[in-house]
Amino acid sequence: MAYRKFSADKIFDGYSFLDDGNILITDEEGVIQSIVTEREAGDDVEQFKGILSPGFINCHGHLELSHMKGLLKEGTGLVQFVLDVVEQRHFPEEEIIKAIEKAEDEMLLNGIVAAGDICNNVLTIPQKTKGRIYYHNFIEASGFSPQIAQPRFERSVGVFREYAKNYSIPVESNSIVPHAPYSVADELWDLVINFPGNHLFTIHNQETAGENEWFMNKCGELTTLYEKMNIDVSFFKASGKSSLQTYLPKFLNNQSLILVHNVHTSENDILFAKRTTHNGQLFWCLCPNANQYITGQLPNIDMLMKHDCAIVLGTDSLASNHQLSILEEIKTIQQHFPHIEIEKMLRWATSNGAKALQLDALLGSFEKGKRPGIILIEPVYASIKRLA
């Protein structure tokens, strides 16, 4: 068997930086064989400047919105952003499919090997069946009016079945998920939660202050969203609790969840989440560049770290980001939270992300038998180069 041997200024194995003088060994297919000392490695070691890392995991994206790059204004706030997406997302199918292909190319160039992708239609299927990136397809369900719960759910099931055709065990790579707490009726929640095989979920969580105001007091900016979308909310009664504390108990004990955005998550919410969920089943996804694009705000990352939350990273969509790059998300965090060590953020981008998408048997770390991809983060975090 032929081997490749990699050396760099630093090697990050998915968990921590290795001591100097270690060599990463793979087979020709990129499957990890071992990590050895320079003496044990022998000749033919490839030397690189920068950091060797497992491929990045993008835990939240919307590939189907890639054609909207540069279309929407920045800083409009969430309500106007949602209205703009709904109004402007319809393009000729050929343009959408070309943009999807280009966006996946961009993710690959930026060292992304797996993605949790939000799906409202089947347009990403042709690209995904090429098998260049591992995907977990999160088929989104939304509908705040109780009377439309059943037809909306049936539509999501129809999309799920189209994705399922491409997988031998469909539920391992596909889920039906709630869009956001403010866009899913209780009746639709019940259908989604109890869909057979549904075990991995994601939800847009507390992206705007208005989300909590709505659940606490039935007021705030979301009233504008419902009015402009002609949604009758007369049936809704405020819980008097935050958004997260209202919906989190709906999930079953055997279900895992990726909370996305978390910009307006309080310390009490975090403590509540830790009491309500089983250890290892809850992940907190940060998409800082999208937050900057839409509202100009960022989550309290220090507070998430204080409570040992399992943090992962996402890019969101090209409708709310200038690029699909986990490295650029890390740079934004570094800019606003300069005290957070690069080692910690790389862990979020690799092993944590792989666990969140339940792909850690294959990806996320340099462990024997895995094929996580090997990327080189070039000096001063200038760019990414794929090595395997």
Q: pLDDT tens-digit profile of 7-56?
A: 999 999 999 999 999 999 999 999 999 999 999 999 999 999 999 999 99
The number of angstroms, rounded, from the C-alpha of 244 to the middle of its chain's C-alpha atoms is 18
Instruction: Note whether residue 139 is domain-resident.
Output: yes
Confidence (pLDDT) at 278: 84
**Rounded CA gap, 264 and 349, in Å?**
22
Q: 310 and 329: one domain?
A: yes
Average model confidence (pLDDT) across the chain: 97
Q: 68 and 21, same structural domain? A: no
**203 plus 170 within the same structural domain:** yes
* Domain identity same for 45 and 61: no
| Mean pLDDT for the stretch of residues 268-275 | 98
List, in sequence order, every residue forming a beta bridge with 58; answer none if it has no partner. Answer: 115
Number of domains observed in the structure of the chain? 2
373 in a structural domain:
no
98 domain-assigned: yes
Q: What one-letter code names the amino acid at 219? A: C
State the average pLDDT over residues 132-151.
98
**Res. 198: pLDDT tops 90:** yes
pLDDT of residue 279: 78
pLDDT at residue 381, rounded to an integer: 86
In order of 20, 186, 196, 250, 309, the CA distances from 277 in angstroms are: 39, 20, 20, 11, 12
Cut 0.85: pTM above it: yes
Q: Which residues make Cβ contacts (< 8 Å) with residue 331, sequence separation at least 6?
A: 381
Q: Which domain holds residue 100?
A: 56-363
Are 63 and 44 within one domain?
Answer: no
Structure tokens at 158: 């129809």
**3-state SS class at 323:** coil
Residue 357 lies in a domain: yes
Confidence of residue 280 (pLDDT cuts 50, 70, 90): confident
- Residue 1 pLDDT exceeds 80: no
Asked if residue 104 and residue 33 are part of one domain, the reply reads: no
184 and 48 co-located in one domain: no
pLDDT in tens, 283-318: 999 999 999 999 999 999 999 999 999 999 999 999
Domain match, 28 and 62 both:
no
Assign 382 a pLDDT band (cuts: 50, 70, 90): confident
369, part of any domain: no
Identify residue 253 by its one-letter amino acid code. Answer: N
**Mutual orientation of helices 186-193 and 149-164 as an angle, nearest 10°?**
30
Whether 374 is in a domain gets the answer: no
Mean pLDDT of 333-342: 98
Residues 195 and 218 in one domain: yes
259 beta partners: 203, 284
Please report whether residue 114 resides in a domain: yes
Q: Do 67 and 109 have their domain in common? A: yes
CA distances from 158 to 105, 107, 123, 167, 242 (A): 28, 28, 13, 15, 32
pLDDT at 380 over 90: no
Distance CA 232, CA 200 (A): 31
User: Are 223 and 195 in a shared domain?
Assistant: yes
In a domain, 122, yes or no: yes
Same-domain status, 41 and 171: no
pLDDT tens per residue, range 339-369:
999 999 999 999 999 999 999 999 999 999 9
Q: Identify residue 222 by its one-letter amino acid code.
A: L
- 79-133 confidence digits (pLDDT tens): 999 999 999 999 999 999 999 999 999 999 999 999 999 999 999 999 999 999 9
Residue 236: predicted pLDDT:
97
